[in-house]
Amino acid sequence: MDPSEHGNGALNCSILDGWWGECYAATNGWAIESAEQDPDQDRCDMREAASLFAILEHYVVPRFYECGHDGVQRAWVQMVQQGWASLGPR
């Protein structure tokens, strides 16, 4: 998938493969820890799911709901802007 298709302001949270592996920066989204080297597929799925849920719980959800006194989600908006700045040109 071409990263230009993601110019809608959505933040990415994925395994670092393909275009996301090339474009990821901690300021433009989140990286799920890959467990693809684990030969046990069930354990691999569990490890990756645990990574995803930890990211959602500790980073995505708090950042999305954290608002200033004016109701603006400044940290979230800043990440969206970083996404536009870093992914748009690529």
The pTM for the full model equals 0.81
What are 50-81's pLDDT values in tens digits?
Answer: 999 999 999 999 999 999 999 999 999 999 99
Cβ-count burial of 38 within 10 angstroms (0-12 exposed, 13-18 middle, 19+ buried)?
A: middle
Residue-averaged pLDDT of the chain:
89
CB 25, CB 81: distance < 8 Å: no
Contact (Cβ atoms closer than 8 angstroms) between residue 15 and residue 2: no
Q: For residue 89, what pLDDT band results from cuts at 50, 70 and 90?
A: confident
pLDDT score, position 29: 95
